Amino acid sequence: MIFQHLKTVIAAVALVAACPSVAQDSRKLLSIAQEFSKAADKCFEDVQNQNRPYRRSVHCKKFGAIHLQWLRAGGEFDYPNGKAPFHAYVMEKAKGTAWQAALRSNLFYKDDPVQLLW
């Protein structure tokens, strides 16, 4: 009986110890997603308002490095419990904006097509 309670206490301590790490990872992923979002908004602005093709926008060129940070930090695309965290929504919305910039660029700059986003 004491052994059973000891196992429960050890499991609870391990769970509590893991919480700060999970919260820290989540904050890091949110920070990366927000960075990607800002770059996507500026990229879209470059294509739409500054008349720059996607491949010539400094902001659009940032996607590869930021996306790599996202993957290295543990950013996921499939959430087994079906409930994605907030940072995943921020990232997916930003990706949509990046795709819109690429499509707009392809529409107006046919001689400089976008073939790879990040």
Q: Say if residue 100 is exposed, middle or buried (CB neighbours under 10 Å; 0-12, 13-18, 19+).
A: middle
pLDDT attached to residue 1: 54
* 94 Cβ contact partners less than 8 Å away, ≥ 6 residues apart: 33, 36, 37, 39, 40, 41
Give dist(CA 37, CA 101) in Å, integer: 12
pLDDT attached to residue 6: 44
DSSP code, position 54:
G
- pLDDT tens, the chain, 118 aa long: 554 544 444 444 443 344 444 567 889 999 999 999 999 999 999 999 999 999 999 999 999 999 999 999 998 777 777 788 999 999 999 999 999 999 999 999 888 788 778 7
